[in-house]
Amino acid sequence: MKIVELGSIIQTFRSRSPKGYLNSLDPDSLPYIDVDFLRSGLPKRFVNKNNPVICDPGEVVMISVGSSTGFVNQIPLRSVVGNNLMKVTSSELTNDYLFYFLRDNYQTLNNLAQGTSIPFLNMKVLNTLKVPLPSLDEQQKLVEPLVLLDAEGGASSVFRNSADSIKKQFSRKPLKAS
């Protein structure tokens, strides 16, 4: 399997702040992706759909400025990318494979952010990440269990429940010797 630098196979798209926000969806608007929407999947604001950077369902968006730099999620519905975020695409990676690869590298991207008062994504770090490059079919097979696990509450909840169960077992009071 070939291993390549991520920057050689991705495209990134940043947006600017919109000229104005709308409080509800109308025929000429789309949900606006801000950090809250990226984390929750629930839009609170809307903007004119003529903005230049639009995401379709399943596409990958990353926080590129702020304390959560490197946080990534897949967008659940057609939306406009907000400022401080960037859309990441690739014709050689499936959206799911790209998402899980970037999510796995969140700590690296966050810890190596640039800037002192307001951290921002270090594009050199992002672009030089080494990514295994299986075929598109193989990528989908690799991430399928992760997608299913996330659909059922996510890996973090499975691990948290497992850890809680183990903690309970070991926190029981030992039997007293007679």
- DSSP for 15-80 reads ----S--BSS--TTEEEEE-HHHHHHS----EEETT-S-EE-TT-EEEE-BSTTTT-EEE-SS-EE
- Residue 89 maps to a domain: yes
Q: Does residue 98 or residue 15 have the better pLDDT?
A: 98
143-160 residue pLDDT tens: 999 888 888 776 544 444
- Whichever domain contains 89, its CATH number is 3.90.220.20
What's the pLDDT band for 126 if we cut at 50, 70, 90?
very high
Look up the domain containing 95 and give its range: 2-133
What's residue 52's pLDDT? 78
> Is residue 157 included in any domain, yes or no?
no
Task: Kindly report which listed range (14-23, 72-81, 130-139) carries the lowest average pLDDT score.
Answer: 14-23
**Is 127 part of a structural domain of the chain?**
yes
Distance CA 134, CA 116 (A): 38
pTM of the model: 0.83
The verdict on residue 175 lying in a domain is: no
Please report, rounded to a whole number, the percentage of residues in the chain having pLDDT higher than 70: 86
Q: Write down the pLDDT at residue 177.
A: 52
**155 is a domain residue:** no
Q: Are 81 and 15 in contact (CB under 8 A)?
A: yes
152-155: long-range contacts at Cβ-Cβ below 8 A with a sequence spacing of 24 or more? none
Inside any domain, residue 98: yes
What is the domain count for the chain?
Answer: 1
In terms of Cα–Cα distance, which of 170, 10, 172, 150 is closest to 88?
10
> Does the residue 121 lie in any domain?
yes
Quick check: 165 pLDDT over 70?
no
Residue 158 lies in a domain: no
